[in-house]
Amino acid sequence: MKTILITGASSGIGAATARHFQAKGWNVVATMRNPASGSNFTNLENVHLARLDVTDAGSIATAVEGGIERFGRIDALLNNAGYGAYGALEAFTTERIRRQFDTNVIGLMEVTKAVLPHFRQNGSGTVINISSIGGQITFPLGSLYHGTKFAVEGLSEALHYELEPLGIRMRIVQPGMIQTNFGGSSFEFAMDENLPDYAPMAEAMGRLFGKLAANPSAPETVAEVIWDAANDTSDRLRYRAGPDAEALLDARKQQDDAAFIGDIKEKMAP
């Protein structure tokens, strides 16, 4: 039986993926900041719950070691933990800026570093990083979030070169709008009443997100794509998840900057 370690498995894409892989016969190391929130997994066979905060190096090491001790090996890593910070750059403190990058980028890299020695020893393994359509296109007031997801795309593509000769596969999954708690606990919006100049842009962003999120895909859709990515033996790097991801990413490739940004602006209009 193969084993996958998943970060951010308490809800949304992480939880759906944990259930999907478990149902397919894999062992699952389901990690989250608070394992008590993973009560839905307690009655499932071959699921190991573990505390892992991607900003806490000690918890990363303990979770990885615990997963290997429980199941003997780890075959795939899903870096799913993260959140979206939106708002005017001026409205974010340096602490909040660092928190966004520490979670979405540095934390992802630290978890990957913790698993790579095990993969190298085995001569195999798959690292799957959850990016976003927001890793190749941008929306207004998303300088922090898109900055992190563009970084995930870049670091993942670079890792593809260095890990492939070692028998380790690198995968990037790009979800579109998904029915998750991205608008809840996984979403942070900064708006400073002392910066009224940005208020019209915030209203426009609300209109844009409303239109884009009209028909979101279920998290199970992403879980199925992750399953394909984990089991694909080709050298494919990127996997899209959701029809809107297909449409928007195709449009970005086919249009120049002015045309694509112009389309986004049109969607922002009242």
pTM (predicted TM-score): 0.95
What are 102-150's pLDDT values in tens digits? 999 999 999 999 999 999 999 999 999 999 999 999 999 999 999 999 9
Instruction: Note the pLDDT of residue 43.
Output: 86
Which residues are known catalytic residues? 131, 145, 149
Q: Evaluate whether 107 touches 129 at the Cβ level (below 8 Å).
A: no
Give the number of other Cβ atoms within 10 Å of residue 243's Cβ.
13
- Per-residue pLDDT of 84-112, as tens digits, reads 999 999 999 999 999 999 999 999 999 99
pLDDT of 182: 52
Question: What sign has the CA pseudo-torsion 31, 8, 33, 153?
Answer: positive
Average pLDDT, the chain: 95
Which CATH number does the domain 3-191+216-252 belong to among 3.40.50.300, 3.40.50.720, 1.10.760.10, 3.30.420.40? 3.40.50.720
Q: Which residue has the tokens 């498995």?
A: 9
What mean pLDDT comes out for the span 50-71?
Answer: 98
Q: What is the mean pLDDT of residues 38-43?
A: 83
Query: Per the structure block, which two tokens stand in for 235?
Result: 């050298």
